[in-house]
Amino acid sequence: FINGNRIADAQVVDADNYEGDEVADFAELCKETFAVGWDYETWSPDIPDDKINVVGSRPTGVSFCAGNNFQYAFYVPVDHRDSANLPVEIIGEFLNAIPETTATVAHNLQFETIVTAQNFDMVIEGGYDTAIMNSYVDENNESGLKKCSKRELNYDQETFQEVLRKGGKSVLVSEATDD
């Protein structure tokens, strides 16, 4: 829905293509669906890359998926190295654009709601947690997103270290150096 054109593929909404009407476009798109999927990518300052401090996690970006068949997806970078990042506050604007009548869906929803509360002083109420839903299908299955992706989609997700480290250097703006 960039520049008024709906898209069927995933797209990055960043400072290079953001024109200011994307939040309103997203709000309209949310009216077509009963739920919006979303997921943060985060980092925790002063914590080793293989650990996560939930309360201290800061968003590096967020993805959303919506539409009557969940056919529209986009990612908003806010703290990536060598990226046209948008200000982190834009995440709160996108979240506020989701109507109260539209459900939210996230894997490990508790993490997403804590990060939202800590970084945007917002409370996300209700919503569906696909990690918990997974346990309803088979309580013996591991409910981590990487395990679910492999089991259900035969898709191998990158590890946390692979996402954050490229060529031995951090991809976070906050850790970027002039080299």
Q: Say how far apart CA 41 and CA 63 lie, in whole Å.
A: 8
How do residues 98-119 score in pLDDT, each as one tens digit? 998 898 988 888 889 999 999 9
How do residues 120-154 score in pLDDT, each as one tens digit? 999 888 788 877 777 666 766 665 666 656 666 67
170: left (phi over 0), alpha (psi -120 to 50) or beta: beta
Judge contact between 115 and 57, C-beta under 8 A. Answer: yes
- How many angstroms from the chain centroid is the CA of residue 20? 20
pLDDT at 10: 64
How do residues 13-60 score in pLDDT, each as one tens digit? 899 999 888 999 899 989 888 899 999 988 887 777 667 778 888 999
Fill in the amino acid letter for 89: E
Length of the chain: 179
Contacts with 88 (C-beta within 8 Å, 6 or more apart), sequence order: 58, 59, 78, 79, 119
Total-model pTM: 0.76
Which DSSP state fits 169? E
